[in-house]
Amino acid sequence: MKKIIISSLAASLLLFSYSCDTDFENDVNDVAVTSGSADFSKYVALGNSLTSGYRDNALYIDGQNESYPAIIAAQMKIAGGGEFKQPLMANNIGGFTNLFNPATGAFAGKYVLSVVNGSLSPAPTAPGGALDIITAGGPYQNMGIPGAKSFHLGAAGYGNAAGLSAGLSNPYFVRFASSGTTSVIQDAAAQAPTFFSLWIGNNDVLSYATSGGMGTDQTGNMNPATYGSNDITDPGVFASVINSYVTALTANGAKGVIANIPNVTTIPYFTRVPAKPLAGLSATQIAQLNGGYAQYNAGLLQAKNLGAINDAEYQSRLISFTTTGSNGAIIVDKDLTNLTGFGIPSYRQTTSEDLILLTASAVLNPTVGGGTSVPLEDRFVLTKKETAKAIAATTAYNAALKSIADSKGLAFVDANAKMAQLAQQSGISFNGVKYTATFVTGGTFSLDGVHLTGRGAALIGNEFIKAINNKFGSNLPMANVNSYSGVTFP
């Protein structure tokens, strides 16, 4: 009996070890990570602030360490990737003391959150140090240059210290440019990258949008030398420069990945402040405001009756505050018919189709007249008309980027689609955490409302990795998004 029991137990144990599937089919510890048909031994990343790791309105060490190319490079390392050196700032604050402009806030230190009157608000800090030249430590593989537009990457002298005061060069490139006459592309090609990423072009339309549409849409003007800093780049210029960069970078057989540009309407800088921001006005305030604008409305009617404006414009310019729901803010809209001859300013109230900029939150204050008796300046609002220009340019740029990627055999990242997904209420989830584009608490956008946090960078970095794996047959692991940093709370 004993024997039967023991032998049947032994038999059962054997059976279980074969039939129970208690182990993983593929243990991740045994999976070999390979580069596929790509070679990651020298990866160079080109782009603008998004590539550099810029966040909280500054370039600083923590942000650089969590830049999306740094995240990608760490995964590439497992598949034979080489060193990925970044032009780290001298401090963890950012900004440049010698270039700091207190009036505009240019080159201030990073934004930090503090509690003001019981609520959290971001504010800039003093710059951390003077511009440091670190060319000697180079070459650097992260060549993301904050502020760069598409055509800047090919511009000779973009890293010339002597050109800084005239605004001809970029301090972030001045830090590590190999010479005063080189260009970003030239320095990149000199490193003979085996793999590159290129995510450029956001600023070709973003600076127009963040200025509230103060620039000019240069579509049709093929000479970028004549562009102002807030202008929209001509899509033909855009396509031609990108094409030339990719040609230069692939000349030695390098493979790479390029990403398209998100619509400005998906980022918190444009979505944080509601289009109809004035809620909770008292009946007295409303009566006073309507009284105050009665003369303006009467003037409009006169102008319409004289044929100076049509009825549609007349209706859109009428100002009326109501007790039901939120009210639009009064804005100056330069695209309205100029009625100054009648003594009528170019005012109207915002509708759900206008985007009020994050920067307006500081001045939107009915009790002192901001947005009510004192209209918001043009620079605080991206109107429907301006938004349409930005989106048209973005669409054209993205079409060019896609066709260049396809024609050169590059992996392609639809960053626009990913950002749009993030802007949805459902967001993007990663192992139990729901990320959205909501300002501060969404987890993905830093305090400037434009640039990504470490977690946001990891989310987008994973999109690059997916695209690379798909195109080149590599199996780079995804980054664990939750392990990167988000917004720092006080």
Partner 1 sequence: MKKVLISTALLAGVLTQAGAFRVSLQGVKQLAMAHTSAHAGDASVAFFNPAGMSFIPAKLSVAAGGFGAITNVTYQNPTTMQSFDTDNPIGTPFYAAVAYKVMDNVSVGFSFTTPYGSTIQWPEDWEGREIVQKLALKAMYFQPMVSVKLAPWASVGASYIYATGSVDWDKGLTLYNGTLNIKDEKAKGHGFGLGFYFQPDDKWDVSIAYRSPVNMKAENGVASFNVTPALYPLIGIDAAGQDNFKATLPLVEEYTIGATFKVTPKWKLSADMNYVGWEKYDRLTLDFENAPIGNQADPTVLTNIKDFHNTRNFRVGTEYMFTTKIAGRLGWYYDESPYEDGNFIPETPSFDAHAITGGIGLKFGSLGVDLAAAKTFPKSRVFNNQNINFAGQAKANSFYFGLGVNYNIN
Q: Rule CB under 8 A: which residues touch partner 1?
A: 1-2, 5, 9, 12-13, 16-17, 20-29, 31, 33, 113, 115, 118-120, 429-435, 441-443, 455, 477-480, 482-483, 485-490
Q: How far is the CB of 21 from partner 1 (least distance, A)?
A: 5
Q: Please say which residue, 240 or 438, places its beta carbon nearer to partner 1.
A: 438
Q: How far is the CB of 489 from partner 1 (least distance, A)?
A: 4
Q: Please say which residue, 53 or 427, places its beta carbon nearer to partner 1.
A: 427
Q: Please say which residue, 19 or 223, places its beta carbon nearer to partner 1.
A: 19
Q: Please say which residue, 5 or 103, places its beta carbon nearer to partner 1.
A: 5
Q: How far is the CB of 70 from partner 1 (least distance, A)?
A: 16
Q: How far is the CB of 18 from partner 1 (least distance, A)?
A: 11
Q: How far is the CB of 488 from partner 1 (least distance, A)?
A: 7
Burial of residue 482 (number of CB atoms within 10 Å: 0-12, 13-18, 19+): middle
Q: Please say which residue, 17 or 305, places its beta carbon nearer to partner 1.
A: 17
> By the 8 A CB rule, do 375 and 319 touch?
no
Q: Which of 87, 77, 89, 67 is nearest to 43 (CA)?
A: 77
Q: How far is the CB of 16 from partner 1 (least distance, A)?
A: 5
Q: Please say which residue, 289 or 459, places its beta carbon nearer to partner 1.
A: 459
Q: How far is the CB of 451 from partner 1 (least distance, A)?
A: 18
Q: Please say which residue, 6 or 162, places its beta carbon nearer to partner 1.
A: 6
Q: Please say which residue, 6 or 106, places its beta carbon nearer to partner 1.
A: 6
Q: How far is the CB of 50 from partner 1 (least distance, A)?
A: 21
> By the 8 A CB rule, do 246 and 259 touch?
no
Q: Please say which residue, 49 or 462, places its beta carbon nearer to partner 1.
A: 462
Q: How far is the CB of 14 from partner 1 (least distance, A)?
A: 11
Q: How far is the CB of 79 from partner 1 (least distance, A)?
A: 11
Q: Please say which residue, 2 or 311, places its beta carbon nearer to partner 1.
A: 2
* CA–CA distances in Å: residue 147 to residues 51, 52, 190, 358, 460: 11, 10, 23, 19, 19
